[in-house]
Amino acid sequence: MYNAEIPARVELPSTRQLLRSTLIAAVSAGVLLCAVVLPSEYGVDPTGIGRVLGLTEMGEIKVRLAREAAEEPAVAAQQAPAEESPAVTQAAPGTLPPAREADQPIAGEAPTTLATTPDAPVWRDTVSLTLAPGQGTEIKLRMEAGAEATYVWHVEGGVVNFDTHGDAPGRSISYEKGRAVANDDGKLVAAFTGQHGWFWRNRGKADVTLILQTGGAYSELKRLK
């Protein structure tokens, strides 16, 4: 009733061949897991291949976005009471606030001389980019351990969430995070040799423009996304 012929015993794979094929398949799956899946999905790169192929950076962005999305409801709940009704302190009639009283000169005393403003930093790079609602971007500086970079950034048209961090093969660090921030400035000191910089995400409902200026000891500025 059947046209197919039953294979002879000699044509069937032996137990040893089956075990070898299974072992080869398991090893191949393990290599793909370590070299491709872990770096691209979780930012974990045990072999270093993912960093070379650019998969690790993609995985780190995915992990950061997932963590940020999970933290967003809690942050919004904490900020809500503070935004409802800010307290306003009024001075009694006929009196000046303490800060204004401190500014009044004392009889017989020479006026206080204000401190001179230090020279403005010298900026090496200026980056301006637009973020649509829900869009994120990342900019990194290539820095040696202990190197210092100055920076200032501000947002036009809204606010952003940000994460100042650094990474290198087998190492990572988070310097500072913020939610609904319009600007930031300071000095970034590299904890180790690698890439150090910022990730921003626009959680608002309108486009915003982000302007970043950097200076100091770094060899390269690169936008990763």
CATH at 206: 2.60.120.680
**What integer is the mean pLDDT of 55-77?**
68
Q: Is the pLDDT of residue 178 over 90?
A: yes
In a domain, 6, yes or no: no
Contact 147, 196 (CB under 8 A): no
Q: Is the pLDDT of residue 19 over 70?
A: yes
**Domain check: are 131 and 217 in the same one?**
yes
Which has more pLDDT, 12 or 102? 12
In a domain, 96, yes or no: no
Q: Is the pLDDT of residue 207 over 50?
A: yes
**Domain check: are 129 and 211 in the same one?**
yes
In a domain, 150, yes or no: yes
**Domain check: are 209 and 137 in the same one?**
yes
Contact 199, 64 (CB under 8 A): yes
pLDDT at 225: 75
**Domain check: are 203 and 130 in the same one?**
yes
**Domain check: are 69 and 143 in the same one?**
no
Q: What is the pLDDT of residues 131-145, one digit of tens each?
A: 999 999 999 999 999
In a domain, 63, yes or no: yes
3-class secondary structure per residue, the chain: CCCCCCCCHHHCCCHHHHHHHHHHHHHHHHHHHHHHHHHHHHCCCCCCHHHHHCHHHHHHHHHHHHHHHHHHHHHHHHHHHHHHCCCCCCCCCCCCCHHHHHHCCCCCCCCCCCCCCCCCCCCCEEEEEEECCCCEEEEEEEECCCCEEEEEEEEECCCEEEEEEEEECCEEEEEEEEEEECEEEEEEECCCCEEEEEEEECCCCCCEEEEEEEEECCCEEEECC
Q: Is the pLDDT of residue 208 over 80?
A: yes
In a domain, 102, yes or no: no
User: Which domain covers residue 65, as residue numbers?
Assistant: 13-78
Contact 161, 178 (CB under 8 A): yes
**Domain check: are 49 and 134 in the same one?**
no
Q: Is the pLDDT of residue 107 over 70?
A: no
**Domain check: are 133 and 66 in the same one?**
no
What is the total count of domains within the chain? 2
In a domain, 83, yes or no: no
Q: How confident is the model at residue 72 (pLDDT cuts 50, 70, 90)?
A: low
**Domain check: are 131 and 218 in the same one?**
yes
Which has more pLDDT, 219 or 44? 219
